[in-house]
Structure 1
Amino acid sequence: MRPETVVTARGLALRYRDAPVLDGVDLSLCAGETLALLGPNGAGKTSLMRLLAGRLAPQRGTLRVAGGDPARAPAVRRRIGWVPQEIALYPRLTVRENLDVFARLAGLGRRARDEAVARVLARAALDEVADTLVGVLSGGYQRRANIAAALLAEPALILLDEPTQGIDRVARAAIHALLDRLRAGGAALLIATHDFAEAERLADRVAVLRAGRIGLEGRLPDLLATLRTGPPEHEVALADPPAPAAAGALRAAGFHPVGALTWRASDVVAGGRDGAALLAFLRQMGVPVREIRVREPGLEALYLDAVGGAPVLAEAAG
């Protein structure tokens, strides 16, 4: 039996101060499915999420979420959970008090409110900190409480903007487990993230926004399967930032910087040398190499191919 389609977007377009933000976006999302939304800053990710949440209306195109128009129907908006990147909680209230406030705002009556708060505390594994002030909690607990506030009305669609930003691995694993449970329970999840490992861990499908358009979209296993028929990916970890001559040697060998101490190449590098020979070659050229990793290409290679050289459009916010 085919799962219910929760989101259907066709030709969505949005302009901000006469600048195009989104231009002809098509997207769909089914119950029990997780979609990772990727793209550079300014590509339109936050604006697209605001359209899906009903906080903005498209200037062109059609959008249906849970069978209705989220910009016009309050009943539809109540079926959408929005988890912003910022912690949208009251620091001087406890977790339980915060959830009660948001349950009131969702229009839940007293009995339904108490039941909903107890339910999401358990679902997000927050019972042990339920009566702790939010302002003294760790970042990981605050982010879980931020997600819990979006679950009170049992949403069909949950929108999450960078849900694990700035937290440690243990807290990240707890949030990933929570998102897995929500997906297994039948919710549709759209996660905007810059974390490729997170997207590979959580997503069934990936969509890459490129200059206000979908530049790449598909099932993650299918996309990775086509990518991994090519050469392996090489990553150089440096002990120190490279001097100009060392940086030139890295570029001549086919590498490009992806961080202050990390350079990567997805094509055949340095004459096809294997890892050990490449390590010796780069050190001979004065490159302060600490480690070379050889692995199958991942989502980041797909992403860079999809956005490479793309102009960046202005985005209304975020």
Structure 2
Amino acid sequence: MMRTEAPPLASVEGAAFAYRGRAALRGLDLTGVRGTTLALLGPNGAGKTSLIRLLAGRLRPDAGSVRVLGGDPHADRATRRKIGFVPQEIALYPRLTVTENLDVFARLAGLKRGERREAVAAAIARCALAAVAGRVVATLSGGYQRRVNIAASLLASPDLILLDEPTQGVDLDARASIHAVLAGLRAGGAGLVVSTHDFSEAERLADRVAILADGRIRLEGSLAALMRPLAAAPPEHEAVLESPPDATAEAALWRSGFSPLGTDARFWRADHGAAGGLDGAALLTALRERGVPVAEIRVRRPGLETLYRDSLAEGLGLETAA
């Protein structure tokens, strides 16, 4: 008897989508796998949220296909039940308790009366919410509210969990708690897709990363494989200025191998140790002698942020790492 291969957890093939006449996704291909976390990185407007909403079935692609366990999440309600969607906004009832909120979402998920109590208890346990289960949501910290937001997505025991900026605006302790929840979900066999702007978060959580820009994937693959070539790379230097540079200081930075880091004119970066081979202290002295108002030089090993910046640089083609 021939064996039939199970469909991938999620697959996106040639997906295109436009919003208000602007192309948000341009023929994008991507695959999600059980028991792994895929981090989506990219600047604002890159298409990350559109991609997550396509996977959730909230949007339908203008071209191409989106499948979750072989089904169409936009057209098939049974497929949507296999998906947990955690939006960037807190989508809770602020005047209800945690337990009451989860009971409402369990009803909306179509769970029968006999199933709801067990599902709510399981979600509270998985997200470590027992201490606040009886409290009104409006009285909770932002970190707890985000954990309740995640718990609401787990009530139907989804196979695929989609999270859009799950730790936005929370403190370090809350972030660590949310990371522990997500790691537990992955260990339990769920597939996770996490959109984030936080490189350290992506490095901590992800098995695979996909970097998007202008509706296309610029770089995608195993995080370990993508990071491997950087292990032997020389350190990077980041110059932090006391104030934006004048024309003379800016010219000196360029001549020293630095380029602007983002939109804040006080931050400059020298790619892969290109700043004349000087160590941090010598570079600080050299830049000050050239009239650059530099406050400090940060030296660090290149990491995911380096891959991100390089992948968005002009002229880089599509790449994939197994």
TM-score by length of 2: 0.90
Tell me by how many angstroms 1:277 deviates. 1.0
- Residue number among 270, 295, 301 corresponding to 2:275 in the alignment: 270
Partner of 1:280: 285
Partners of 2:276 and 2:312 lie apart in 1 by 27
Partners of 1:60 and 1:303 lie apart in 2 by 27
Partner of 1:235: 238
Partners of 2:156 and 2:207 lie apart in 1 by 24
Q: Deviations over 1:43-89 (max 9, x none)?
A: 11111111100111112212210221111110100110010001001
Aligned counterparts, 1:140-159, within 5 A: 140-159=143-162
Partner SS for 1:5? coil
- Residue number among 156, 159, 163 corresponding to 1:160 in the alignment: 163
Partner of 1:104: 107
- Residue number among 39, 42, 53 corresponding to 2:42 in the alignment: 39
Tell me by how many angstroms 1:261 deviates. 4.5
Partners of 2:198 and 2:265 lie apart in 1 by 17
Partner SS for 1:76? helix
Contact 2:82-2:156 at 8 Å conserved across structures: yes
- Residue number among 288, 294, 299 corresponding to 1:294 in the alignment: 299
Partner of 1:314: none
Partners of 2:313 and 2:275 lie apart in 1 by 22
Partners of 1:61 and 1:134 lie apart in 2 by 40
Tell me by how many angstroms 1:95 deviates. 0.9
Structure 1 residues 285 and 181, CA gap change in structure 2 (3 angstroms): same
Q: Is structure 2 residue 227 aligned with structure 1 residue 194?
A: no
Partners of 1:105 and 1:187 lie apart in 2 by 21
Partners of 1:3 and 1:301 lie apart in 2 by 36
Q: Is structure 2 residue 261 aligned with structure 1 residue 257?
A: yes
Which amino acid in structure 1 is aligned with residue 55 of structure 2? L
Tell me by how many angstroms 1:4 deviates. 7.2
Which amino acid in structure 1 is aligned with residue 261 of structure 2? P
Structure 2 unaligned blocks of 5 or more:
316-322
Contact 1:3-1:31 at 8 Å conserved across structures: no
Root mean square deviation of aligned Cα: 1.9
Partners of 1:222 and 1:3 lie apart in 2 by 26
Partners of 2:265 and 2:7 lie apart in 1 by 45
Partner SS for 1:297? coil
Q: Is structure 2 residue 174 aligned with structure 1 residue 171?
A: yes
- Greater Cα shift, 51-60 or 153-162: 51-60
Partner SS for 1:117? helix
Partners of 1:71 and 1:196 lie apart in 2 by 31
Partners of 2:222 and 2:117 lie apart in 1 by 39
Tell me by how many angstroms 1:290 deviates. 3.5
Partner of 1:52: 55
Which amino acid in structure 2 is aligned with residue 203 of structure 1? A
Contact 2:245-2:265 at 8 Å conserved across structures: no
- Greater Cα shift, 16-25 or 30-39: 16-25
Aligned counterparts, 1:13-24, within 5 A: 13-24=16-27
The size of the alignment, in residue pairs, is 308
Partners of 1:87 and 1:106 lie apart in 2 by 18
Partners of 1:166 and 1:286 lie apart in 2 by 37
Displaced runs of 4 or more, over 6 A: none
Partners of 1:200 and 1:122 lie apart in 2 by 26
Which amino acid in structure 2 is aligned with residue 181 of structure 1? G
TM-score by length of 1: 0.91
Structure 1 residues 242 and 65, CA gap change in structure 2 (3 angstroms): same
Partner of 1:316: none
Partners of 1:31 and 1:3 lie apart in 2 by 12
Q: Is structure 2 residue 75 aligned with structure 1 residue 72?
A: yes
Contact 1:81-1:157 at 8 Å conserved across structures: yes
- Residue number among 204, 208, 223 corresponding to 1:220 in the alignment: 223
Partner SS for 1:306? helix
Structure 1 residues 275 and 64, CA gap change in structure 2 (3 angstroms): same
- Greater Cα shift, 220-229 or 279-288: 279-288
Tell me by how many angstroms 1:3 deviates. 9.6
